[in-house]
Structure 1
Amino acid sequence: MNNNIESGKTAAITSYILGIGVFIAMSMNSEDKNAFASFHIRQGLGITLTFISLGLIISHFDSLMISAPMWIFILVLWSYGITSAIKGETKPVPLLGAFYQKWLSGIS
């Protein structure tokens, strides 16, 4: 299992680069299908989709009081996820991580 984590660690960390990182990590993981990398790809994609969705919703408001909490929330999810990947753990991000694994289960 430890070898599985080490071989998938680069793709797992790459998946947390918001936006393009998920697609790079999916490409890196396309041949060997590392379970550790797949877990973090789903987490990274979920965070990216959450960021885009919340950004679209709150972009209509021109208020720091509305946008700052979104940025803090995304930063907390992102830092938790990337820290987990660096440590070699498969802990879902707070609040939404289990949903990401369920909703994005077709992505490996």
Structure 2
Amino acid sequence: MTRFRDVYLLKKVTDTGGSNPFDKHSHYGVIAKKLFCRVNDLGLQKQSLLFGGDSLYQDAKAVIIPGQFQRPDKIAFVDEYDPKTQKGVVYDIRMPRAHTNNTALFIYNTQSKVG
């Protein structure tokens, strides 16, 4: 079943914590917000075919994002993540595939590993 959802594209940002240049903090900042992205859930059988049975996750999805954009490090859905507090579900990206005017990202929640 295909759903359309809005997503945040996240990139790792390292900033200093004040006057000490060695006191660095890493977090993920929003580089873009993409609207009307197609989202399909990946079952365990599709994951084993795509990823070669490396790791299986209960919460894995394929997201097709329209347009051109900078490659993100992580991705989050707008209704599941608050960029101000940086709280919510953040997905890792696996096997990005660029096409003519869109990019397919296979994403998974590392908290939902089953095998």
Same fold (TM over 0.5): no
Higher helix share: 1
Higher strand share: 2
What TM-score, normalized to structure 2?
0.25
User: Relative contact order (C-alpha < 8 Å, sep 6+): which is higher?
Assistant: 1
Q: If you compute each CA radius of gyration, which structure gives the higher value, 1 or 2?
A: 2
